[in-house]
Structure 1
């Protein structure tokens, strides 16, 4: 995407971030950034207001924009808050309860009060129709079209806005789903329909149905939102294409986003990981940990060999923070990350055991932390950071929001200090230590679940709150190097600008390797390529495309598969077995001889061709010069009060270095360098914090 003037917009739970790039102007690669408070009732309002302001700052009009790239948490929030459309599910007779039966296990075995998340569709709106496909795709019972059409009256009477259709074994033979869509969409033209064979053409009934329902649930909401966004941008003269960030790390056209909004779940955080990948490549950090902490949540991702971990399974709205199986599963291409309810707006309280607890609920942008002086009274992480001296109240968000330190102290004192008999400053330190340890614990668990560790990695931190907490998080994880990118406060939006236009197609074809027909699999991949290319070419008609093929394979009898890259692998049984055994041995240290191997699912990803940036050499060391003053800061690790040197990031030249304690200020965030650490400016302008 080499458009000349581009705008990236990331809507978060607290702030909406904007990045405007202006290459080809007097200042090459000039970037303007802005943060505005998110308007939750009408998220597009903050986008339009922010866009108008940043264009005015650049001396441009909406007509000067060549491309807008947008990421949003709207789909995620609708699923979490249960604010989607009134949705019905139509499924094979006898299988209406699959959505509620789920995995048939307890995700918290010893919790007597464990509660499963309620399905998005109530039981009385899960409707059945006589039809049945066999596992091989043959028709056991034809679709009862008369019974299907009878359901149209039920859907009308229940004022249904969206319908999910998921029939048994439709991933093999989609004829019944396609016919049901044809009949019902004609009878109910104002209802939004989603069918499983288009959203998730994969084996496993529960996950496929859950993904289909989730897509239907947010489909009308996202359609209306994208319509309002388009109208709002047009109203300020923007006529360029609008692309949407997906959870996979690629971007798609607005047409694709309207059809498959479930692919936008985690779209904002995915942009941040794309930025972290670029920073890792520039610095040569082949083992990195991406750390994104904003106003509402923190996100952590492992990056190895400059490639973030990918997954095809994600859970939204987990009832238990780290408990797998406690959320709504969706099978979509997604960057594998752990998300924690730990952001600047996360609310602190004293729990029943008289411990400080932080999050996952957030004060958001309205009313916001107490120091925002917008009606919030509960103590938050941002309030604690203000009390500890980490944030300059007059320069927060580039000076656009003036903070009230007295309100922050009052909230921390009333909410934590008085309750526990602690001084206000020590209560604030307790809040930050708890939130930092929560994030560190999540990172450790995520690494262990993937057979990896956090030590000897570079921590790449961005987001408005991350640079405030990154050094302490690194200490807890045994990490010795922290990198803060340029314009870290709007890191996810920056990442949007590096994301390729991409799309992934998935097909389940369960087959033993001994019975593989190379021609059959070759035809399968050609068909998948055609489907993916039809989508990608909407956004890049002439660009060069990179194709990635993957098979999900297992030993016969196992319940789960591993991903096996097939880009340079012939499709014959011997080559596929060798590729599987190499991947299996890398993961588990050994193979299992004499067991049959089978392939379950095949994926093809097609993306606009992009290259990682070349490494940037470190500039020669120079002195940072005199500071702009000092600030009294209470350090998390020791609780001691220190005088930290204050520097404006824009005043530090490449190669500049200084010792902690220090606070480095920029419009979108502040970086805290503790005592005993040093910081220097790298060749790409990044801050590199190192422990001895």
Structure 2
């Protein structure tokens, strides 16, 4: 049986899961922001080492059928506002004020476009002189990419005319030609501002994603890998690089985690789950209720409505690598992150800014010799120096007190973000995953009034694990506004022909796919048959989903754990209290715990890839499959 590889690329660490039948081999490696293909192959090398005892990437790829890849790079780029210098050619009939009418949208528009916006009159045919004039204005402002957005019933033709004139004067093969993109290629949403915002966000994310993904694909070809390389999307599907638009990678990693949460909730019988995925740059909060993944028909990105249906995931600018700073006597956490380079000060790679990770190292919670994803021990002295210089000295605090204050601000910020996303219920289970998810989750739960926390065995790689649930397919949206009823049949026929070509490129016949349709009117969607005559007359657009799904079974059934048994600690860890005194607390190695074992805090639960600080007043129980249930209460 050929293997499957699922990869989740985060801002600080990149996670790899290799599925070989019922076995799962996991690996973590530092993300390399200067070349994301490097950490891609570093992760494969580590996974091969776990499988074969050596870094035989060629053999691993030869024995692999599919590689599915997700990334949070798009999410992180928007959170940190790092991307290309965009220029916008905007239909004069669409005032800029309609795109950015309030503070949040105006701030995002200023960050992505600013003053690099040219109004173009497209009431009639778009003339070449107007195109050249608009392009020159934007070129003088140093743009690296131009986006053209038109309105009206013939907006597609107007955008195509602009491109034809532009490429006639500025051929794409000439050096220095600024690439141009058009809004209609991102989607067929009839609502103009929403369609433009979707295209704008896609244009912002496109260049870095394009460079990396095609580079990774090229390196795979150099290995002569037969594996299909597919990009995991935020709709839960996957497709080839050439058939994936950049904005579909936004929150794709968290979507993988959410699919794993949904499957786990169904298996464990959890009716209401709030999930928090704490990575290096962001913390992603989501909800699963009654086994369903809540989604927004017109999902929001950075508070802006887009044309895409998106899972309800809130990305908070708080992660293990978030920079902590003092401003006007107050400690602030994030949203800026040190990433993997230079990384937290404790990484010893040149970073000097204090982060949450540095605070936990300074407190003694994180063992410098067992931090996952790094081939060298962490530097505790550098962590303590960063905490002292960045927080302790400005506030007049000793280093231990400063480290505790950082953690308190982190916990409070994370709890506030979770509550704003979904107020907890009495039956809520908080599910913690991501590399830093379990670390302070007991204190976060206590702040929220939640008494049960679930930590999956593969918590630190849960998003990569969830990517395996992807279906192969594509979504399409067909604009109906302004079309005569007789023209709808032609629109559907053309869309199905496009879908057939797209799926044929994946090696799948459209006859073997499931095709569903929904009619969109305003903010409402209703399922409709694939018969244009049956579509509502008032429908603004039709969404088609073409998928070739495959059932995925979980190796671990949701059976009860064995009889209760007291867990035996494997040693002790010395942690630093707020006043600087030392406290020794037991360590429990996750790999040495059997189902049914339990113990009470204070303690540290140490896995190969995550750490959980079990505070006083909480206890843990090991469930079947190695998952952990943390509950408020002193009795072990």
Instruction: Give the TM-score range, shorter chain.
Output: 0.7 to 0.9
Which residue of the partner structure matches residue 211 of structure 1?
198
Which residue of the partner structure matches residue 64 of structure 1?
63
Per-residue CA deviations over 1:41-97 (Å, capped at 9, x if unaligned) read 1121121223233224422523222221112234445555565445443343454x5
Which residue of the partner structure matches residue 262 of structure 1?
247
Per-residue CA deviations over 1:112-153 (Å, capped at 9, x if unaligned) read xx956416345455252x433xxxxxxxx3444665477677
CA contact (8 A) 2:285 2:314 kept: yes
Question: In structure 1, how many angstroms separate the alpha carbons of the residues matched to 2:45 and 2:342?
Answer: 24
- Are 1:105 and 2:105 an aligned pair? no
Question: In structure 2, how many angstroms separate the alpha carbons of the residues matched to 1:197 and 1:389?
Answer: 54
Query: Which of these residues, 6, 29, 38, is aligned with residue 8 of structure 1?
Result: 6
Moved more, 474-483 or 187-196: 187-196
Q: Structure 1 residues 280 and 570, CA, compared in 2 at 3 Å: closer, same or farther?
A: farther
Which residue of the partner structure matches residue 366 of structure 1?
341
- Structure 2 SS opposite 1:620: coil
Which residue of the partner structure matches residue 607 of structure 2?
666
Question: In structure 2, how many angstroms separate the alpha carbons of the residues matched to 1:648 and 1:690?
Answer: 19
Question: In structure 1, how many angstroms separate the alpha carbons of the residues matched to 2:289 and 2:64?
Answer: 35
Question: In structure 1, how many angstroms separate the alpha carbons of the residues matched to 2:629 and 2:489?
Answer: 47
Question: In structure 1, how many angstroms separate the alpha carbons of the residues matched to 2:128 and 2:103?
Answer: 38
- Are 1:176 and 2:158 an aligned pair? yes
CA contact (8 A) 1:269 1:292 kept: yes
- Are 1:507 and 2:478 an aligned pair? yes
Query: Which of these residues, 385, 391, 400, is aligned with residue 360 of structure 2?
Result: 385
After the TM superposition, which residues 504-653 of structure 1 pair with which residues of structure 2 at under 5 Å, given as runs? 504-509=475-480, 531-532=498-499, 534-539=501-506, 541=508, 545-553=513-521, 561=523, 563-566=524-527, 599-611=539-551, 616-633=558-575, 643-653=584-594
Question: In structure 1, how many angstroms separate the alpha carbons of the residues matched to 2:500 and 2:431?
Answer: 33
Question: In structure 2, how many angstroms separate the alpha carbons of the residues matched to 1:469 and 1:193?
Answer: 46
Pairwise CA distance, 1:506: 2.2
Which residue of the partner structure matches residue 166 of structure 1?
149
TM-score when normalising by structure 1: 0.79
Question: In structure 2, how many angstroms separate the alpha carbons of the residues matched to 1:454 and 1:526?
Answer: 47
Q: Structure 1 residues 350 and 81, CA, compared in 2 at 3 Å: closer, same or farther?
A: closer
Query: Which of these residues, 476, 479, 490, is aligned with residue 447 of structure 2?
Result: 476
Which residue of the partner structure matches residue 33 of structure 1?
26
Pairwise CA distance, 1:671: 2.1
Per-residue CA deviations over 1:448-485 (Å, capped at 9, x if unaligned) read 6xxxx455222121111001022222112222221111
Pairwise CA distance, 1:620: 2.2
Question: In structure 2, how many angstroms separate the alpha carbons of the residues matched to 1:535 and 1:490?
Answer: 31
Question: In structure 1, how many angstroms separate the alpha carbons of the residues matched to 2:290 and 2:552?
Answer: 11
After the TM superposition, which residues 88-487 of structure 1 pair with which residues of structure 2 at under 5 Å, given as runs? 88-95=87-94, 97-98=95-96, 102-107=99-104, 117-118=109-110, 120-121=112-113, 123=115, 126=118, 128=120, 130-132=121-123, 141-144=124-127, 147-148=130-131, 162-170=145-153, 174-185=156-167, 187=169, 188-190=171-173, 192-257=179-244, 260-314=245-299, 316=301, 318=302, 324=303, 330-352=306-328, 354-397=329-372, 400-447=375-422, 453-487=424-458
Per-residue CA deviations over 1:527-578 (Å, capped at 9, x if unaligned) read 6555445434533615954445444445xxxxxx2x44427999999x98xx
Pairwise CA distance, 1:199: 0.8
Q: Structure 1 residues 237 and 57, CA, compared in 2 at 3 Å: closer, same or farther?
A: farther
- Structure 2 SS opposite 1:378: coil
Gaps of 5+ in 2: none
Query: Which of these residues, 648, 655, 658, is aligned with residue 596 of structure 2?
Result: 655
Pairwise CA distance, 1:433: 1.6
Question: In structure 1, how many angstroms separate the alpha carbons of the residues matched to 2:580 and 2:629?
Answer: 24
- Structure 2 SS opposite 1:618: coil
Pairwise CA distance, 1:405: 2.3
Pairwise CA distance, 1:293: 0.2
Q: Structure 1 residues 617 and 77, CA, compared in 2 at 3 Å: closer, same or farther?
A: closer
Question: In structure 2, how many angstroms separate the alpha carbons of the residues matched to 1:145 and 1:312?
Answer: 38
- Structure 1 SS opposite 2:625: coil
Pairwise CA distance, 1:431: 1.2
Q: Structure 1 residues 398 and 337, CA, compared in 2 at 3 Å: closer, same or farther?
A: closer
Moved more, 184-193 or 411-420: 184-193
Q: Structure 1 residues 192 and 440, CA, compared in 2 at 3 Å: closer, same or farther?
A: same
Q: Structure 1 residues 290 and 521, CA, compared in 2 at 3 Å: closer, same or farther?
A: farther
Pairwise CA distance, 1:416: 2.3
Pairwise CA distance, 1:340: 1.1
Query: Which of these residues, 606, 609, 619, is aligned with residue 678 of structure 1?
Result: 619
Which residue of the partner structure matches residue 73 of structure 1?
72
Per-residue CA deviations over 1:318-373 (Å, capped at 9, x if unaligned) read 5xxxxx45xxx643332221111111111222220x22221111222122222222
Per-residue CA deviations over 1:185-237 (Å, capped at 9, x if unaligned) read 45523464432222121133222122223333443433322221122233345
Q: Structure 1 residues 539 and 310, CA, compared in 2 at 3 Å: closer, same or farther?
A: farther
TM-score when normalising by structure 2: 0.86
Pairwise CA distance, 1:427: 2.3
CA contact (8 A) 1:630 1:646 kept: yes
CA contact (8 A) 2:587 2:606 kept: yes
Q: Structure 1 residues 220 and 370, CA, compared in 2 at 3 Å: closer, same or farther?
A: closer
Gaps of 5+ in 1: 24-28, 109-113, 133-140, 319-323, 555-560, 577-596
Moved more, 284-293 or 413-422: 413-422
Question: In structure 2, how many angstroms separate the alpha carbons of the residues matched to 1:436 and 1:619?
Answer: 31
CA contact (8 A) 1:437 1:473 kept: yes
Question: In structure 1, how many angstroms separate the alpha carbons of the residues matched to 2:217 and 2:458?
Answer: 27
Moved more, 430-439 or 500-509: 500-509
Q: Matched residue pairs, number?
A: 619
